[in-house]
Amino acid sequence: MKKSVFYFPIWGDDYIKLFSDFALKCLFNNLNKLDKRMLKNSKIEIWTFKKDIPKLKALKNIKLLEKKIQINIENIDLIYESLDKTYLNKYQTLSILQKIFINSHSHKYEYLWFIYPDFIFSDQMIKNFYDLKKKYDAYFIPVPQLIEEKVEVAFKAKNFKANTKNITDLLFKYLHPIVKICDVDNSKTNTPSMFLASNKNSYALKYFHMHPIVIKSNSDNLEMNNKFYSSLDEGLVQSLDKKNIFITKDNYFGICISLLKEKEYQLPNEKFNLDLTLEWCKNHINTTHLEISKYTYFIKLNETGHVNTVLENKINKRLNPLRKELLKSYKKKNSGFGQSLNLDIYPVILNNEIYSIIRNNYFKKYFNNEANTLKKTIKKNIKFKEPMFDWLKKLYIKNL
């Protein structure tokens, strides 16, 4: 994973504070476990507003990390203003930015990391991914939500260390109600992206929508690079069908949680209904999700604790009938569930036009253009003149 780029879309004081208090501290602790030589050809890529750049540059851990790894803080005012004029919601806007990031960095970097500002993750997690002998097309880890207000108090306590034991303890104490409603013993939702069962010493979790924390750049994956998806975990993973994926098995390899305010959403209170759940799944689950759902992620208070197959069997009793019906529907339709979106808006059109130049040269038989040649080709062939288009063109050129 020597050519890695860690991507952070961050703007606004609230997210900068979350980033500073949580994800950045965890990133600093993780990257300190790696030899500096392993990070020589890697970078941290932060996309933010111009007004927020000085705030990010002033963060203590940013200054410390700059001694170990390249950091680029990218001003996204122009692209964000252009997207803000469209009919997109905030999640679709984020997905477009992620697509542009993937496309623009796929030539120079091999592994693309997706970590959000409110993530808290164990201090050996990144190193454990780096140390895997076998290489994969994507790496997945569950990211259950915890109650932000409770975790914030505990995380700021004197001498708190974001290691496996301490984060596991937080999860057992402060698991968010939005996760608890997916408990198969007391389910209160018919829109399940995940399933859980637990006892006093362990949790077992199975997912349809699991977070792809690392994706290997792959210019010949047309599904991933040429289409726009509404999200990483629901949409983009469809492009990984039949690819070689790694699923984190337990919290002692890595544990990652995100934060959500306790009253952020009004929780559903529905009795489980197979037909209603199946209807939701047909619109939101694809073949890669079905593959991911085969695996169980265990969270144990003690590393030496045994894997509780009773919990796993409880989940399978709920999940397997869904999987069976979904597979039958899939065979009838001869296609995966879920859809990509066609967005006829200028930033997406231009991005696709620039990326096609890079991809087409990648596929030339016996010939792969030098970066300097590609830069000249992009400058010559892209004729848009608006400032946003100029920003996008420069973004690609500096990452060749």
| Model pLDDT, residue 365 | 42
Whether 186 and 163 share a structural domain: yes
Please give the average per-residue pLDDT across 132-138, as a whole number: 93
Q: Is 8 inside a domain boundary?
A: no
128 and 243 share one domain: yes
* Residue 13, in any domain of the structure: no
Considering the domain architecture, whether residues 288 and 350 belong to the same structural domain is answered as: no
Query: Which of 20-34, 211-225, 267-281 has the lowest average pLDDT?
Result: 211-225
Which of 115-124, 158-167, 199-208, 223-232 has the weakest average pLDDT? Answer: 223-232
pLDDT of residue 387: 78
- 193 contact partners, CB below 8 Å, separation of at least 6: 182, 207, 208, 209, 233, 234, 284
Using the 3D structure, point to which of 343, 359, 386 is the last residue of a domain: 343
Regarding whether 207 and 188 lie in a shared domain, the answer is yes
355 close to 392: Cβ distance less than 8 angstroms: no
Read off the pLDDT band of 366 (50, 70, 90): very low
pLDDT over threshold 70, residue 169: yes
Do both 320 and 180 map to the same domain? yes
Nearest 10 degrees: Cα torsion 163, 166, 167, 172 = 160
Residue 143 included in any domain: yes
> Comparing 2 with 111, which gets the higher pLDDT?
111
Alpha carbon distance 48, 7 (integer Å): 11
| Residues 322, 282 share a domain | yes
| Separation of alpha carbons 272 and 190, rounded Å | 6
- Give the pLDDT of residue 25: 95
Same domain, 276 and 151: yes
Q: Which residue has the higher pLDDT, 257 or 356?
A: 257
Q: Domain limits at 388?
A: 346-398
Mean pLDDT to the nearest integer, 10-28: 95
**Into how many domains does the chain fold?**
2
Q: Report the pLDDT averaged over residues 272-288.
A: 91
List the single range of 71-85, 132-146, 227-241 with lowest mean pLDDT: 227-241
Residue that terminates a domain, selected from 312, 328, 343: 343
Report yes or no on 47 lying in a domain.
Answer: no
Confidence of residue 107 (pLDDT cuts 50, 70, 90): confident
- Inter-residue contact 374 to 399 (CB < 8 Å): no
Q: Please give the pLDDT value at position 367.
A: 44
| Cα distances (Å, whole numbers) of residue 374 to 140, 165, 346, 381 | 33, 48, 22, 10
CA–CA distance, 231 with 208 (Å, rounded to integer) = 13
Q: Could you tell me if 197 and 236 lie in one domain?
A: yes
Pick from 190, 144, 188: nearest CA to 283: 190
Is residue 290 located within the same domain as residue 385? no
Q: What pLDDT is recorded for position 362?
A: 55
What is the C-alpha separation between 339 and 284, in angstroms, rounded? 8
Q: Tens of pLDDT along 334-360?
A: 555 555 555 567 677 777 777 777 666
Residue 164 backbone phi and psi in degrees, to 5: -60, -45
Judged by DSSP in three states, 46 sits in strand
pLDDT, residue 33, reads 94
pLDDT single digits (tens) 180-189:
999 999 999 9
Last residue of a domain, one of 305, 328, 343: 343
Residue 110 domain-assigned (yes or no): no
Same domain? For 336 and 379 the reply is: no
Establish if 198 belongs to a structural domain.
yes
What tens digit of pLDDT does each residue of 33-90 get?
Answer: 998 889 999 999 999 999 999 999 999 999 999 999 999 999 999 999 888 887 778 8
- Whether 280 and 390 map to the same domain: the answer is no
Cβ of 377: how many Cβ atoms within 10 Å?
Answer: 16
Spatial distance between the Cα atoms of 90 and 83, rounded to a whole number of angstroms: 10
State whether 179 and 317 are in the same domain.
yes
